[in-house]
Structure 1
Amino acid sequence: MPNAKKPIINEDGEVRELDAEDFQQFRPAHEVLPESLQEKLGIRRRGPQKDPTKERITIRMSTNVLQRFRATGPGWQARIDTALQDWLKTHHPG
């Protein structure tokens, strides 16, 4: 059945296993939900920074360091940035 949408729920009312074709159809919540519902759900949409103050990088860190920061909850990456900035106040890299 080309170009036909496969039902997500089968005849028993169970959700079938999703495949790559299904995932291609997904859209971000901010594109499909009404703004009023997004507000009720606490979905925040952030625009691009006017003056980017941070740079996205890839860095390898010790697992125990990451686990401890992640355990502090949302904002853990900003807390790593703050910790490194504090360290730079009293240390010189290199």
Structure 2
Amino acid sequence: MSSERITRRSLGDRRPTVDWSRVDALTDADIQAGIDADPDAAPVMDAKWLANARLVDPDTKVPVTIRLDRDIVSFFKDHGKGYQTRINQVLRAFVDHERASRRTGN
């Protein structure tokens, strides 16, 4: 058997080394200069976008209890997460179609 000492570590044992005194010494100007020099730190919002932005409240959903055929629910659930949203989308398409038909008289 070897006299070599083996130390086991997991990835969770790694701790990044940070020179906190250096970080604490940074001024706001130093931080801003670092951001300005970083090409990946581009601003998310520019003035033009911000001038045209508007707050849009999403349509509110109403909780309901509805009885559906088992195979209908299974069909939507078989396509993965979000089955209630898909059922809502199908109903939305039907309602939109019906409303358009009534407007045109068809």
Q: Above 0.5 in TM-score?
A: no
Which TM class, normalised by the smaller chain length? 0.3 to 0.5
TM-score (normalised: structure 1) = 0.41
TM-score (normalised: structure 2) = 0.36
**Structure with the higher helix share, 1 or 2:** 2
Higher RCO, 1 vs 2 (CA within 8 Å, ≥6 residues apart): 1
